[in-house]
């Protein structure tokens, strides 16, 4: 059995998509979902799947490094084979990144374009005719780890709502697939 931990900060739609996809898995178990936001709606989504939820608010720490050290100490006992960032809105320090063998993230653009925050908005507002989603391994450089999967679509003429919905549809489909591929080889 492979253990995964999912980190999230907000709504938890990717967390829910992953939990739905893995609910009958005999090989992969979500052992914990952790949020830095005590009011995150994803807490309700996680509990719907009987996933243990940990809350570690970053606002209780003076520095990013202090928070990441506490985060590592909290997650190590879960013995994660994979850490999955699913809308975890924190830039992680080497203290965290170097403490786990495999951490992945999903990003709402075709990396290396539109790294960092507000990527989906910047992608939508660009003159590009293609947009998409990237799943990548987390490294110590923001949104720069090894690309594990990408999917693109023609974004010409789409409204913001259509664009955003297409990004979410792709995320919810490819993220669970990448997780399965990584852990069942």
Q: What is the dihedral of CA 129, 134, 140, 142, to 10 degrees?
A: 30
Q: What is the pLDDT of residues 164-173, one digit of tens each?
A: 999 999 999 9
Q: Report pTM.
A: 0.95
Catalytic residue among 58, 107, 136, 172: 107
Structural domain containing residue 78: 2-183
Catalytic residue flag (residue 136): no
- pLDDT confidence bin for 185, thresholds 50/70/90: confident
Q: pLDDT, tens digit, for every residue of 65-114?
A: 999 999 999 999 999 999 999 999 999 999 999 999 999 999 999 999 99
Q: How many angstroms from the chain centroid is the CA of residue 185?
A: 21
Nearest-angstrom CA–CA distance, 145 and 139: 5
How many separate domains does the chain show?
Answer: 1
At 83, which CATH number? 3.40.50.170
């Amino acid at each position: 059995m492979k253990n995964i931990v999912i980190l999230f900060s907000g709504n938890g739609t990717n967390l829910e998509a992953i939990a739905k996809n893995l609910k009958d898995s005999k090989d992969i178990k979500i052992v914990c979902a952790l949020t830095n936001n005590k009011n995150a709606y994803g807490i309700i989504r996680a509990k719907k799947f009987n996933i243990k939820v940990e809350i570690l608010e970053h606002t209780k720490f003076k520095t990013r490094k202090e928070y990441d050290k506490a985060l590592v100490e909290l997650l190590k006992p879960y013995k994660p084979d994979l850490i999955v960032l699913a809308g975890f809105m924190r830039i992680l320090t080497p203290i965290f990144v170097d403490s786990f063998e495999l951490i992945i993230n999903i990003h709402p653009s075709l990396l290396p374009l539109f790294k960092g925050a507000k990527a989906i908005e910047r992608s939508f507002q660009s003159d590009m005719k293609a947009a998409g989603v990237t799943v990548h391994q987390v490294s110590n450089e923001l949104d720069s780890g090894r690309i594990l999967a990408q999917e693109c679509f023609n974004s010409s003429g789409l409204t913001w709502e259509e664009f955003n919905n297409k990004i979410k549809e792709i995320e919810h489909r490819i993220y669970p697939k990448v997780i399965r591929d990584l852990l069942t080889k």
